A and B are shown apart, each in its own frame.
Chain A
Amino acid sequence: MLRVAIAKGRILDESKSILSKCSFDLNQVYHSRQLRFYNGDATMELILLKAADIPLYVELGAVDVGIVGKDTVIENDRSVYEVGELSYALCTLCLAGPVDAPALSDGVKVATKYPTLAKRFLNEKKINPVILSLSGSVEIAPLISLSDYIVDIVQTGDTLRENGLKVYESYLKIKPLIISNQVSFRTKSAEIQSFIKLCEEK
C-alpha cells in the first residue's frame, strides 16, 4: 500500500482530480475532519498534513510520498527526492519593497519567511544580503524601517499594494512538488512511478 501525504489548503483543493482518479471518496476527504483515508481498492492511504511537516514525514518514511509546495521543500532541506512536479503554479516568490527602496547592494536588509530562498535569490544576483527571518506579516518590515526589501510569495499582489509596496522582481514560480522517501523510491518503485504519472497527467 502506498501512503501519500497532501498539504492541507490550496494544494489539497487543487488535488480533487488526482484523488478522484485514485478512487478516494471526495465527499469524505473534503467534508470530514478525518486526517486519514483509504481509497476504494485499499491500495492507497491518504494523510492530510500541514505543509511544513510533510518533508519530515517523508524523510523518515512515515509516508512514502508527499505533495507540497517547492518553497516548503527548499526551506526544510530534508533528505527527500523531488520526483515530480504538478503543472499549476501556487504563487510566485518575489522581491518587493517601497517605491523609494534603496538600490540593491551588499548588506541590503531583506525581511522574509523564506530565508534560504531569499539568500539564494540575492546570491545569484551577486548580492550578499542581511536576511531578517520573520514568521509572518513581512509586509510591515520595510514600512517601519526594519528592512529595505521583503522576499515573499505573491498570489494576487493585493496585500502588497494595500501596504504601499511594489514588486521589483519575480524569482520563482512556486509549484507543488511530489517528494518521495529514499527507501520507498526503490522498494515501492512501481507504485510511486504510476502515482507520479497519474499526478502529472492532470
Chain B
Amino acid sequence: MNIPDTLRYAASHEWARLDADGLVTVGITDHAQSQLGDIVFLELPAIGRSVAAGEECAVVESVKAASDIYAPIAGEIVRVNQAAVDNPELVNQDAYQHALFVLKPDNPADLDTLLTPAQYRAQLEAEA
C-alpha cells in the first residue's frame, strides 16, 4: 500500500498536505484511485468557494462509477488542478503527484484531526 508518511488522511480516502505557504493541498489516495479504476472525468470546486470539513466539493468519475470527494478540513478553495481536469488519467498514474485542489485553511490546526499514515493504513487493513 502506498501511503506516504508526510501526508494526513481522511477516512473517505482523501489526502491533505500542509504546504510551506500555509495552504493545504488535497487529493485522493492511491488506494482510492485503484478502487475507482480508470478515471475519466473530474468536477472540481469553484475557486473562492468556502467549504466545511466533510463537505462534498468535487466528483471523480471513473469507468466504474461516480465518487464524491469531501473537503478534509474547512477552508476556501484557492486553486484547482486544471491539468488533471484535462487529463484525468494523471490521477491514476500518481494520485499523490496529481492533487485535485488547494485550499486556504480556516485553521491549519484542523489538519491534526485527520488520520495519521498509520491510522489510515489500519483502516485500509480493516476494510480489506
* A and B assemble together: no
Q: Chain A: residues with CB nearer than 8 A to chain B?
A: none
